[in-house]
Structure 1
């Protein structure tokens, strides 16, 4: 068993009961965290009861100051531990070995981050279930620049839903970008891989996490993803993302066909079209009128800051 000191940082906004289950899961780890830090965005929902019940630290972030990269960077710098586990409030550990499994890859001193496998929740639809299997297979892998030809953009794939960071490497490489709409985890992974570090996918570290996004929500999510790639081209230079999306659609369609889920193939076509349209619009966002950008983003606060609007 690997015992290393680590802290946990969790951005929160109007959390529900999953946050309680997450913290309870962390408290039950065989290798328990040194500190649990919540970065709570101002809302009408209080987390003070959580602070008293679980002995966690809470720092308040103003709603207009929240940023996917900047807020997490703030949390990383609150820690002095050699490793920091970043999680989202809706990810729940499946067992008591999550942290030790995430720490295992760091025996290779070139590993900068280790991220967990995400498993679907009980009511996840069949398309999202297959997507989880596609993005989070049951086999671990350590990725580096040598994998670019085989994996393409998936070389940089990493998720802050549940990811353990070597804090020394993080600080040395100036951490997350401070102003991004989305994708701070992949931008960081791309940056460190390009300078010789590695990213570990640890399949034995598992959390329950999935979303049943509608077509409209998929459009907005992929729009934001494309905006992040446009804003930070150095992280994705020379690598196309579209081919990975096409591969996912083809494999999902084959899976649905083999399982006689013919109606779901129609849903897949619709949602895939929404994803592609969102991504395409995101790559062209600088040419779009402001009103349209506001309609097709998930992150209104980001655009208020970026566009200077009230």
Structure 2
């Protein structure tokens, strides 16, 4: 594989401590890459830290941040790179070869995107631990559109907390979308698969990333996920729905908790019920007033955008 020009793109907002941890971890990497930071007008010292540690920092107004649009803006401003690795500020790497490993699948010129593995943060609660272990197994995989009948919606699965994209593949499918509320990563990989590209999951490329969400936060996130799924129904029509996946997750979570952690079982049931309620309610979002949707969802600024 010829030497790739690689950029690591990090969107930031009021996460100074997290960013410092991430930058410290990136400094240990064996791979060669440039770090690009786009900050949404942080007020806690994040922007100052970014300028002190990184040569390529862009500040934008917080109201202008968009999950897909901001990421695509960084590609448009820096078209000289072959691969764009995206990380969120609350993730970090422990293995010095993490970035090098996420680049490995690009040896196949038809691989358009690679998802890295996520392990839970060391302070993750049991439910957060299970979420990462369920969704991010150790086994690597190369997927094509032909895998959809078996893998279903897992075929275009991707997470921008630690993911890499081939610049040519992004260009071929029109880049990251500016109109989605979130899940811009899955949108892109779905487009790539339909366009004939392959999507990889690289189990040897590992980061730490998880959330100890409250019930309210869980509800708001799944409301937004449901909005995305409703508005981008073509993805589920192409790759198949999520029938049975929810029950499989619940069974896996209870097995993970086991009888010795049975005190966590009620919280597991309640949390999954909250997710389902948010998901069902989101299907009616077009009937809801904008003010209500702002209170129900996590990404409230989206509802002030022209795409809402």
TM range (shorter): over 0.9
Tell me which residue corresponds to 2:6: 6
Tell me which residue corresponds to 2:282: 282
1:43 and 1:26 map into 2 onto residues whose CA distance is 21
Describe the shift of the 1:48–1:253 C-alpha distance in structure 2 as closer, same or farther (beyond 3 A): closer
Query: Which digits, 9 at most, give the CA deviation of each residue in 1:203-242, with x for residues without a partner?
Result: 1101111101112111111110111122222233252124
Q: Helix, strand or coil: the match of 2:202?
A: strand
Q: Which runs of 5+ in 1 are unaligned?
A: none
Contact 1:3 1:100 in 2 (8 A): no
TM-score, scaled to structure 2:
0.94
1:243 and 1:230 map into 2 onto residues whose CA distance is 18
Instruction: Describe how 1:1-310 pairs up with structure 2 within 5 A.
Output: 3-33=3-33, 35-79=34-78, 80-238=80-238, 239-257=240-258, 259-306=259-306
Of 179-188 and 43-52, deviating more is 43-52
1:293 and 1:51 map into 2 onto residues whose CA distance is 33
1:165 and 1:196 map into 2 onto residues whose CA distance is 15
Q: How many residues align?
A: 306
Q: Helix, strand or coil: the match of 2:298?
A: coil
How far is the alpha carbon of 1:173 from its aligned partner?
A: 1.2
Of 259-268 and 84-93, deviating more is 259-268
How far is the alpha carbon of 1:135 from its aligned partner?
A: 0.2
Q: Which runs of 5+ in 2 are unaligned?
A: none
Q: Helix, strand or coil: the match of 2:204?
A: strand
Contact 1:114 1:201 in 2 (8 A): yes
Q: What RMSD over aligned residues (CA atoms) do the two structures have, in Å?
A: 1.8
1:284 and 1:197 map into 2 onto residues whose CA distance is 34
1:129 and 1:305 map into 2 onto residues whose CA distance is 34
- Moved segments of 4+, more than 6 Å: none
How far is the alpha carbon of 1:50 from its aligned partner?
A: 2.2
1:3 and 1:20 map into 2 onto residues whose CA distance is 28
Contact 1:50 1:56 in 2 (8 A): no
Of 179-188 and 241-250, deviating more is 241-250
Of 224-233 and 182-191, deviating more is 224-233
Q: Helix, strand or coil: the match of 1:295?
A: helix
1:193 and 1:48 map into 2 onto residues whose CA distance is 36
How far is the alpha carbon of 1:306 from its aligned partner?
A: 4.4
Contact 1:68 1:179 in 2 (8 A): no
Q: Helix, strand or coil: the match of 2:174?
A: coil
1:242 and 1:214 map into 2 onto residues whose CA distance is 26
